[in-house]
Amino acid sequence: MIDWVTIFSWARDIPVLLIPALLILYWYIRIPGNMPKNIPTVPIYISLLGLWSDMGQDDIFDRWLREPLEKHGAVKIWFAGRWNVLATRPQFLVDMFRQEDVYAKAGSQKKIPWSVIAALVGDNIINAHGQNWKLYTSIMKAGLQRRITDSAPLLEKSRLFVDILVEEQKKLGIEKGVLVNPIIQRWALSCMGINFMNVDLEALERPGQRLEELQTIIKKTLFKPLFFNFPDLDKYPGLFRQRKDAFAVMQEFGDLLVDTVRRRIQSTDQDGEQVVDYLDRALKEGKIDEEQYRANLKVTFLTAHENAQQLLNSTFWVFGSNKAIQNKLRAEILATDTANPSTETINSLPYLYSVILELLRLYPPVSQLINRVTTSTCALGGSITIPNHTWVGWNAFGVHTDQSIWGPDAREFKPERWGSDVKSIQNALRSKTTACHFIAFNAHSRKCLGQGFAVLQMKIVLCELVRRLEWDIDPGYELKLTSGGIMAPLGLRAIVRERQV
């Protein structure tokens, strides 16, 4: 027999339970009254699309962010458990980047110090501010900016990368494309290891190593939409088993990385000491403690391979869907008449340089970043009043595809827009970065210290790729970009063919 008394009693209690829950939720997601009133608010559900949609971030930006950002220059947006100010207008970005003491760099270790991502990166050279940033820079800058004169180590890894692509294609036959991202990740890890960690991780030679596996796990773990947007849930790993496991993964990665570099066989690089060597010395001399050492080692490992990995993913898409670009670049490279180009030769190729900059413009690996916090009430660009302790950031994809900045062909892949010779390309890069029209490497005092290496690494691998291979996009593949965080094609497959060299 149905107990109607119990059912009605339970139903009567629902509002009693529901109303407090709704009030708590409202308090959590409300827009603070002191947030700027003269810029629009992006509805919170846009930030939560990843909970039920797999739309790419280009589609999300075009549908909901482009119009308000191009009209107002900035918006209020929900990110990492709070409302932030996101800007794309260059004059706002110049103000933000130049006034380091007003818009202070501060990452997850300050914003959400209890979170999984904070456990991963800690206090590091990218997100530190003030004395800590100056300390880390004084230690690491020489290693990050060392001039690479010997192209052979990077060229060797690039050749092995191409060999593996060819072998994988043979296994699949000519009808199905190679899933490129896993192999690209191994290449990127190998290049990072020999140039920053002073160790050959042999990720290409020995696939499936734990450090490599952990990178795939970490990327999937960090960008889970629910925890990414509501990081307060990370405070309760006892209630969410997957977060408990996530913290364990971050700890394992840090321990394994430190153990790997400490067990390395010390070698002398003809181009000077590497980042890990400077960090080792600083730790030994007591300039930094163990946690600072680990954090900066981890962030170097992560950023020095991740950005190159995703940019090369985008390269496969662009070249595979636009054979004219591929062919023009191949002609320039073959004209050097060498299979072993020196860094001097590689750096003398203007079209190669402009292609990489155009890739960075349309497919910036770090497409959006909100990692600055105001240290006092201020007026962004002199017009948007932002209260103290408000997080602000930028969207590179929005800046790089704004027609008012780049012209009516802003969405087209057009390397020629950068110039026809190396000097003019360098001048264009310098001026566009200073004006914050191009922010793939950030700008002003916090410009990426590893920019030179990243570009050289891409030049070398592209030389080897287009010299030895031609490729098309698998007919069954449809472009879909990642939904957040890094920007790159998802699951791209390319049909590669070896050229007669």
Binding site: what residues are annotated?
A: 448
Residue 223 has pLDDT above 90, yes or no: no
Spatial separation of the C-alpha atoms in residues 74 and 252, rounded to whole Å = 39
Strands 178-179 and 82-87: unpaired
What's the token pair of residue 179?
A: 């899933």
Burial 479-491 (b: 16+ CB within 10 A, else e): eebbbbbbbbbee
What pTM does this model have?
Answer: 0.94
pLDDT for the residue 1: 47
Closest by Cα among 253, 299, 269, 302 to 198? 269
- Cβ neighbors of 365 (< 8 A, separation 6 or more) are 306, 307, 310, 311, 314, 440, 486, 487, 488
300, 198 contact by CB (below 8 A): no
Residue 5 has pLDDT above 70, yes or no: no
490, 480 contact by CB (below 8 A): yes
Strands 469-473 and 384-386: unpaired
pLDDT tens digit sequence for 84-119: 999 999 999 999 999 999 999 998 999 999 999 999
291, 118 contact by CB (below 8 A): no
% of the chain beyond a pLDDT of 70 = 96
pLDDT for the residue 3: 56
Residue 148 has pLDDT above 60, yes or no: yes
Spatial separation of the C-alpha atoms in residues 238 and 234, rounded to whole Å = 9
Binding site for heme: what residues are annotated?
A: 448
**Unique residue bearing structure tokens 């001097």:** 344
Residue 11 has pLDDT above 80, yes or no: no
pLDDT tens digit sequence for 173-218: 989 999 999 999 999 999 999 999 999 999 999 999 999 999 999 9
- CATH level 2 (architecture), domain 31-498: Orthogonal Bundle (1.10)
Using N-to-C axis directions, what is the helix angle for 152-172 and 451-468, rounded to 10°?
Answer: 50
Highest mean pLDDT among 48-57, 268-277, 414-423, 477-486: 414-423
pLDDT for the residue 165: 98
280, 338 contact by CB (below 8 A): no
Spatial separation of the C-alpha atoms in residues 30 and 9, rounded to whole Å = 32
Spatial separation of the C-alpha atoms in residues 501 and 159, rounded to whole Å = 13
State the chain's mean pLDDT as an integer.
93
Closest by Cα among 289, 291, 260 to 276? 260
pLDDT for the residue 8: 52
Closest by Cα among 12, 179, 79, 14 to 392? 79
What's the token pair of residue 463?
A: 């030389």
pLDDT for the residue 27: 78
* Exposed/middle/buried for residue 37 (C-beta within 10 Å: 0-12, 13-18, 19+): exposed
* pLDDT mean over 152-161: 97
Spatial separation of the C-alpha atoms in residues 191 and 388, rounded to whole Å = 41
Confidence of residue 348 (pLDDT cuts 50, 70, 90): very high
% of the chain beyond a pLDDT of 90 = 85
Bridge partners of 486, per DSSP, are: 366
pLDDT for the residue 2: 55
* pLDDT mean over 391-409: 97
pLDDT for the residue 361: 98
pLDDT for the residue 10: 52
Confidence of residue 49 (pLDDT cuts 50, 70, 90): confident
pLDDT for the residue 190: 97
Domain ranges of the chain: 31-498
pLDDT for the residue 24: 73
Q: Is the pLDDT higher at 29 or at 452?
A: 452
Write down the H helix ranges in 150-231: 152-172, 181-192, 210-222, 225-229
Q: Mapping DSSP to helix (H, G, I), strand (E, B) and coil, where does residue 127 land?
A: coil
Residue 267 has pLDDT above 80, yes or no: no
Confidence of residue 291 (pLDDT cuts 50, 70, 90): very high
* φ, ψ at 473 (rounded to 5°): -75, 135
pLDDT tens digit sequence for 136-146: 999 999 999 99
